[in-house]
Structure 1
Amino acid sequence: MKKALTSLPGVLLATGIALLAVLIESQLPGHYIGSAVLAMFIGIAIRAVYYNETLFQEGIKFTSKKVLKFAIILLGASLNFSIILQVGSRTVFVLIFTLLTAFGGGFILGKLFKVNWKLSNMIAAGTAICGGSAIAAMAPVIEAEDGDVSYAISATFVFDMLMVIAYPIVGRLLFLSDQFFGYWSGTSINDTSSVVAASFAFSERAGEIATMVKLTRTLAIIPTVIIFSIIYYNKQLKEPNRRKEKVSVKGLVPWFIILFVLMAGLNTAGLFPADFSESLRSVSRFLMVVALAAIGLKTDIKLFVKTGWKPFVHAMVLSSLVVVVSFAVVALIIG
């Protein structure tokens, strides 16, 4: 009871920021900036102006860790493996190339720019899959620092804002078909809201295709977090201090990821009515906003300066590579 009371101020602050972010998003034209990104930036700004660590610390810690994991579990309820059958093998073919480009290119760029592997791979996951959601899902699996989470989301967000403006213009200049544009934007723009904004700005048909392709791409969160949980587990085994502590096998695949996959499986089996699945998705999205507000509150702006420009360039170059590879592969299969 006492712990709950000490956590309450921080939880309420993060929730208040989340509600404000949702309100701001609803008033913005085009919904180009998602509430999750807004909440994180508001949290960072509040910390820079005034932040009572003693009062808010417990609640912010709870929200950024526990609430985030719960949001990820509920996110599984909105995923459906059968969507792969709807979009066909062509989408999967393009996605394989973009995923390989993002993670392969991310590894090389991370080494080139000397970016720590956690930040580098979160940028790669955000670029490859679905921006902030993928980064947020991956962060607890690899025990990423909050500053790195904020930096990764910020870097991918900036590129998305540029793409929302540039994609429809480029699409029209190149006389792309609705189908081509839908596949291209759905497989190469990071965040779901940005995909929707850019593709529907091009045409209604392109928007429908891009949304379906993007939903398929989101499924890549599942194998990605499982693979990185195994990689991180093996990294822990190689650390001398960790060996002494006897790294638990339970950490091989975290419990919340197992529940996340289970929820996706139940939804695919049709055990969740459509309305119920949509409700859980809405709750998950809001809790994700609350968690990212807490992560913002834990992020000192000085960390961005300390981290430097290299991870930002890493994200820009990697996203550009994915855009080019996606275009080339879509051209190959669609013509």
Structure 2
Amino acid sequence: MKMNPLGRTGLQVSELCLGTMTFGTQTPEQDAHAQIDYALDAGINFVDTAEMYPVNPVRRETVGVSEEIIGTWNAKTGRRGDYILATKHSGEGLQIVRDGAAITSKTIATTIEGSLKRLQTDYIDLYQFHWPNRGSYMFRKNWSYDPSSQNREETLANMVDCLEALQAQVDKGNIRAFGLSNESAWGTAQWLRLAEEGKGPRVASIQNEYSLLCRMYDTDLSELSVNEDVGLLAFSPLGTGLLTGKYQDGAVPGSSRKSLSPELGGRDVPRVYDAVAVYLEIAARHELDAVQMALAWCRTRPFMASAIFGATTQPQLEHALGSVDVQLSDEVLQEIDQAHRANPMPY
């Protein structure tokens, strides 16, 4: 398992990260604990969660359960020091968490304390803002994104307010590093600029959606990542399971994500299945496993810190981990690029 730097923090994270958003819904506690054991033994040193997890669906009564399951594992095993733990503070508008309150200095301290308690740990390695208060073009909102209503001065004042609160948490030892999620190049640049002015901790990473099917990161954010040492933590590198091929030809396996969320967060559109078919064909022609090809491709990207994948079951976890032994040839990479040009932005 290759290790990559987490920004300029001095921390090293594995090229694959265990995502936990099914812990407590699709993945019961005993199975979740077994997954953490197996992942760490296989060389993963990075686990990602969020205060709002689990999902599929997100419900008020289950908010925090994924963190609680990780917490019981920490308490049971005493292995908290064996891995990098990341969690997230929900952004403005999610009514089931703090009645949709924005991220501010008033919410940060209590939210971190809540996560620390549920996780049964004294510190969080990477604390991330799940999405910006001002909104985001992620989650298919890129098609109608319009930032013209934003108030620049209010946005920047909020960033300073948050950075100062985060620095207080760093000073207390509650968090080690700060990361963003579902952010833009402009937003990330402002966080970086304000940190350079001494307002608080420097951004270490950005957790945005990225896969063969979703490559918005390839331009401005790619340039920012490389020049500013802010690596991508790619979520949904398998396109919510689409790239496994299990949903082709109208199939909906029982207990799959699509069985619980038929629209797959806006990804279930006719064009996506044509795009998936092309990638499946590339994998088959080169005698590659499609899942492992998709994850191995993430590793080739110049801005990638880690690809976050989730596994409902242990066999799925083992299958995904096999990707670390897959090296893609120049021919495969060229065919993937050609496929992307022919099938850009399928959702």
TM-score under structure 2 length normalisation: 0.29
Structure whose residues are more often strand by fraction? 2
TM-score under structure 1 length normalisation: 0.30
